[in-house]
Amino acid sequence: MFDKLEEVVHRYDAITHQLQNPTVASNQEKFRSLMKEHADLEKIVQPFLEYKKLNSEVVSNRELLNSEKDQDMRQLIREDLATAEARISELAEELRLALLPKDPNDEKNIILEVRAGAGGDEASLFAEELYSAYNHFATAHGWKVEVLSVSPGNVGGYKEVVAMVTGDKVYSTMKFESGVHRVQRVPATEAQGRVHTSTVTVAVIPEAEEVEVKLNPDDIKMDVCRASGAGGQHINKTDSAVRLTHLPTNTVVFCQDGRSQHANRDKAYKILYARIKAMEDEKAIKEASDARLAQIGTGDRSERIRTYNFPQSRITDHRIGLTTHNIGEVMKGDLDCLVQPLIAHFQAQALKAQENAGH
């Protein structure tokens, strides 16, 4: 670990030197790239420098403890040692996590897709509630949410809602939400008061830039049509809805919520690029070794990951065996009680895999 950390410090110092070069400063693209790398490395370098400083202090204090005769002074030295050693332990764990292989998508914005699954109208109603919870969660984190596409349910709710979520490290926070979410509750339409089970599927797809996905324009069929449903006179009088079909994969994207055909086309392409990139990534994961899979795998989207039981105010995440009884707060957007343990769990798994690989 320490050899790797010294390499990081060496690279950090080299970039610091490059940033002072006027030639580099005049190349804005290279300058921005180096500045970002410098900021990322600083998050490792600063804790490492503190770690080394504290280790040096511990060595000095232990020597002082051996030579000091005054009992009061010895007690003060012991207290300083205990504080330093506790902090060293914290920094060591922080540095181990910092050296884990980075998911290249962690810094990216996301396309969030929430779809009603089994359960009819009740699934549509829960899809809307779950999307609303994610929306509140995003707002609390200072992220921006832009709806790209909505398909309303028959009695309210959403058959499907697709949104772009932009902000700091959105994908790294949200990526473990992909999968099947099961809800158990008494529907408002259920006269007998029986508990009904339905499902909603969530897909968290990292945003893909056009340069990351090579699409042949001849492989994309675009249809325009008149938007349906609510939206006012403008949306119903113009052919503003856009449907894109990627013929090789039969991937279809439909957008009608923008105020113009141009806006809907741009939104549709954003979704299409992200979906095609996600397909390519999933294919790469399946072809990868177990070690690579441990680094970039985020779970099967068809896997049932969580159950929301409203009568018992209980939420269970089946992947880590976590159960909480604050369903009201979670549905209002307080998802950290679920999200943070998941991140910690998968980080611990990655650390274990890395340690096993090192033996």
pLDDT, tens only, 36-55: 888 888 888 998 999 999 99
What is the CATH class of 110-349? alpha beta
Q: Look up residue 103 and give its DSSP letter.
A: P
* C-alpha–C-alpha distance, residues 162 and 171, integer Å: 15
Q: Is the pLDDT of residue 228 over 70?
A: no
Selected residue with higher pLDDT from 166 and 98: 166
Tell me the average pLDDT of the chain.
Answer: 83
**How would you classify the pairing of strands 196-206 and 179-185?**
antiparallel
Selected residue with higher pLDDT from 330 and 282: 330
Q: Are the C-beta atoms of residues 196 and 186 closer than 8 Å to each other?
A: yes
pLDDT at 292: 42
Q: Which residue has the tokens 């929301």?
A: 308
* C-alpha–C-alpha distance, residues 353 and 358, integer Å: 9
Average pLDDT over residues 186-211: 82
pLDDT at 287: 64
Identify the weakest region by mean pLDDT among 223-227, 260-264, 269-273, 325-329.
223-227
Among residues 298, 320, 350, the alpha carbon closest in space to that of 175 is found at 298
Q: Is the pLDDT of residue 231 over 50?
A: no
Q: Residue 151's pLDDT band (boundaries 50, 70, 90)? A: confident
Residue 204 C-alpha from the chain's centroid = 7
Selected residue with higher pLDDT from 204 and 351: 204
Of the chain, the percentage scoring pLDDT greater than 70 comes to 87
Angle, CA of 248, 250 and 254, to the nearest 5°:
130
Alpha-carbon dihedral 52, 42, 359, 93, rounded to 10 degrees: 70
Q: How many Å from the N-terminal Cα to the C-terminal Cα in the chain?
A: 13
pTM of structure? 0.70
How does pLDDT run across 101-141, given as a tens digit for each residue? Answer: 777 788 888 989 999 998 888 899 999 999 999 999 999 99
Q: Is the pLDDT of residue 236 over 50?
A: no
Identify the weakest region by mean pLDDT among 50-64, 161-175, 181-195, 312-326.
181-195
Q: The sheet that has 220-225: what strands, in order across it? A: 220-225, 241-246, 251-255
Among residues 167, 111, 131, the alpha carbon closest in space to that of 333 is found at 131
Please, which residues have CB within 8 angstroms of residue 235's CB and are 6 or more apart in sequence?
A: 227, 256, 259
Element (DSSP H or E) covering residue 110: strand 110-116
Q: Is the pLDDT of residue 277 over 60?
A: yes
pLDDT at 238: 58
pLDDT at 258: 66
Side chain identity at residue 255, one-letter code? C
Q: Residue 297's pLDDT band (boundaries 50, 70, 90)? A: very low
Structure token digits, residue 256? 């009608």
User: Highest mean pLDDT range out of 38-47, 134-143, 272-281, 344-353?
Assistant: 134-143
pLDDT at 118: 87
Of the chain, the percentage scoring pLDDT greater than 90 comes to 28
Q: Is the pLDDT of residue 234 over 70?
A: no
